[in-house]
Structure 1
Amino acid sequence: MTQPTHWLRRGIAALASSVLMLSFTAVHAAAPQIKTQAPGFYRMMLGDFEVTALFDGTIDLEVKKLLTNTTQAQVGKLLDRSFKKELVPTSVNSYLINTGSKLVLIDTGAGSLFGPTLGNLRNNLLASGYKPEQVDDVFITHMHGDHVGGLIVDGKLAFPNATIHAGQEDADFWLSKANLEKATPEMKGFFQGAQASLNPYVEAGKFKPLTGAAADLVPGIKAVAAHGHTPGHNTYVVESKGQKLVLWGDLMHVASVQFVQPQVTISFDVDSKTAAAERKKAYADAAKGRYLVAGAHLPFPGLGRIRAEGSGYAWVPVDYQQVR
């Protein structure tokens, strides 16, 4: 067979190149933007315990207006340093602890109480491989709606086999009909959300308040009073094989401001002076102990450590890695 002439070889090459270019162009032009995110869970081991962070969603907060014991100018400078604007996307995180004998959920997200950007905990729990009916105990840091709203789904118990635990002081305050009736218009929603979420469990005999200094609630998990943000706000300490994780709840809200300036409080605090003192104590202990902490409103998964830095602290998030 004779070899192709020079012009024929050039023609074949040009044709092939054109077809290839058209193919790539067509594929590129046809690919739509997906605009969805991966399921919101992150898993790690703490000794023998499996810890799964669950993402409920984010809500934009006007932190300049909400933060107290500071000035809007100071907050603005700190936000700008962290590339934040007026509205700060704020995560709502919960944590599932599998001890091997108990499945414990710390906080439940907002459910349907805060609109469409929150309320994703149930779907992310399922995506993580667990079912709501497997949860044995739910420990609530405090009874604000973004922590208890997920207790109810379509008017039914979201965790039908679980016992719900929260501070007695919070139960006395937020579940009181008298307090609801005399609350200011701004506060009524807090009481209504707590009562709609907790009362069905109270009526079903599935609510057990926490009182005083709690021993291990389940082996390896205990409550520590950290009142101030609410009257019965608790943190939870999880320990296994010498490893420690402290679940802070709402000891802090805005990482870019309150790590640098721990004295800064937020208008959601029932007792801001006490809340600030508890935050400072928790920061100092975590920095000294070098143990893991988790924050309900730190950027998801909200797990990391802190170190002292000048007159404040710096946040060091966990590295994303395989479970081991």
Structure 2
Amino acid sequence: MSDPSRRAFALGLPLSVIGASTLSLVAGAGSAAAESAVTPVAPVAPLAQIKLGRFTVTALADGYTDMPYNYFPGRTPEQVEQAAKAQFVGRPSGVRFLFNQYLIDDGERRILIDTGPAGSLGQSGMLPKSLAALGLRRDQINAIIVTHMHQDHIGGLVVGGQNNFPNAELYVDRRDVAHWTDAGKRNAAPDYLQNSFKLSSDVVRLYPRLQAIDGEREITRGVSIVDLTGHTPGHIGVRIEDAGQSLIMVSDMVFPVVHPEGTDVYFLFEQDRAAAKAMRDRFYPRAASERALLAATHMAFPGLGRLVSDRGTLRWQAAEWAFQS
């Protein structure tokens, strides 16, 4: 891995809410054993905004799905379910995964990080509605950074077999493009990865402005790529920083329930478990020591938090994001 930051990861960022709607999408996720008093309500498109210098970063949601308890090699399904229930998020069908996306706006460009599964997994497909809540159409997005080419991160790009963001430049790590468009790898892959291969081919075919990028680089002033390879060959994060404040969107570096307590807990879709573990082993302690503010795709909306040490064990601490001055 390249050094995730030659500067400090984060600077104890004070968060200020710019606007937020009800978090009903998450509130509908009561415990399977009625361990929570949360009352489900009809899903809405949740929005949460923070300021980072000149940037406004908006957390959006495409929806959610439940990942079965046996999708986490390194722990038994019983262990994962027990941990989920201990955190009051146990469900009959598994661990609830959100599909969070992040919109970066500096007043001149709108950059979207990932596009969700767009209905190909679980209860998803809400991203257009989320953008509409901001008064935006998909053709008003100037650029999209794809953190990796799993279906839950690229589905919205090509849902319906078309280019859904016609005015956007697309940035994808070259290693992921090579992997997910390799016919030999596709033929040898298990069934549960076939949709990612198909969608990746569609992305390459439908987005002539796709830029296959190499390593850590700046996309625009204050928005840069972080190398987080492991989960996929070209798994990347995105650092947003300005005026001494920063946020790192870490994509699938952290999964609910199983992380960050165990770096040896994997996910079924990971191609190289050893590489994924090695990256977590390097990244987690660094992020904790630097008090980095993180944004994670699958954590409870809006996916903002930090890794903190609790009596020698790392845990996810959700960041206070609302009503901060």
TM-score class normalised by the smaller sequence? 0.7 to 0.9
Structure 2 length as normaliser, TM-score? 0.82
Cα separation, 2, equivalents of 1:102 and 1:209: 20
Whether 1:298 aligns to 2:303 is no
In the alignment, is the contact (CA less than 8 A) between 2:259 and 2:315 conserved in 1?
no
Instruction: Give the secondary-structure state (helix, strand or coil) at the position aligned to 1:276.
Output: helix
Tell me how far apart the structure 2 counterparts of residues 231 and 70 of structure 1 sit (CA, whole Å).
23
Range moving further from structure 2, 215-224 or 282-291: 282-291
Correspondence 1:20-31 to 2 at 5 A: none
Residues 262, 312 of structure 1: 8 Å contact kept: no
* Cα contact 2:193–2:269 (8 A) shared by 1: no
Q: Which residue matches 1:163?
A: 169
- The alpha carbon displacement at 1:320 in A equals 4.5
1:189 aligns with one of 191, 195, 200: 195
Q: Superposed, which structure 2 residues align to 1:1-324 within 5 Å?
A: 35-63=41-69, 65-85=70-90, 86=92, 87-115=94-122, 117-201=123-207, 205-212=208-215, 214-253=216-255, 255-322=256-323
1:77 and 1:303, CA in 2 relative to 1: closer, same or farther beyond 3 A? same
Query: Which whole-Å CA distance do the structure 2 matches of 1:256 and 1:35 have between them?
Result: 23
The whole-number CA distance in structure 2 between the counterparts of 1:46 and 1:135 is 19
Listed as ranges, the gaps of 5+ residues in structure 2 are: 1-38
Q: Give the corresponding residue for 2:27.
A: none
Partners of 1:259 and 1:315 within 8 A in 2: yes
User: Larger radius of gyration, structure 1 or 2?
Assistant: 1
Answer with 131-140 or 163-172: which moved more. Answer: 131-140
Count of residues in Structure 1 that have an aligned counterpart in Structure 2: 285
* Counterpart amino acid of residue 135 in structure 1: I
CA displacement, residues 211-258 of structure 1 (integer Å, 9 cap, x when unaligned): 13x3211111111211111111111111111111011111122x2221
**Partner SS, residue 248 of structure 1:** strand
What is the CA distance between 1:44 and its match in structure 2? 1.0
Query: Secondary structure, in 3 states, of the residue corresponding to 2:99?
Result: strand
Deviation at 1:304, TM superposition (A): 1.7
- The C-alpha deviation readout for 1:12-39, integer Å capped at 9, x for no partner, is xxxxxxxxxxxxxxxxxxxxx9942332
Separation in 1, partners of 2:292, 2:85? 29
Give the letter for the 1:314 counterpart.
R
Tell me which amino acid in the other structure corresponds to 1:36. Answer: A
Task: Identify the structure with bigger relative contact order (alpha carbons < 8 Å, sequence gap 6+).
Answer: 2
Change (3 A) 1:156 1:72: closer
Q: Runs of 4 or more off by more than 3 Å in structure 1? A: none
Q: Give the distance between the partners of 2:303 and 2:204, measured in 1 at CA.
A: 25
The letter of the residue matching 2:118 is G
What CA deviation, in whole Å up to 9, does each residue of 1:84-135 have, x standing for no partner?
Answer: 32422210111000123321111011123225x1111111011123222221
Q: 1:268: how far off?
A: 1.1
Q: CA RMSD in A?
A: 2.0
The SS at the match of 1:154 is helix
CA contact (8 A) 2:110 2:142 kept: yes
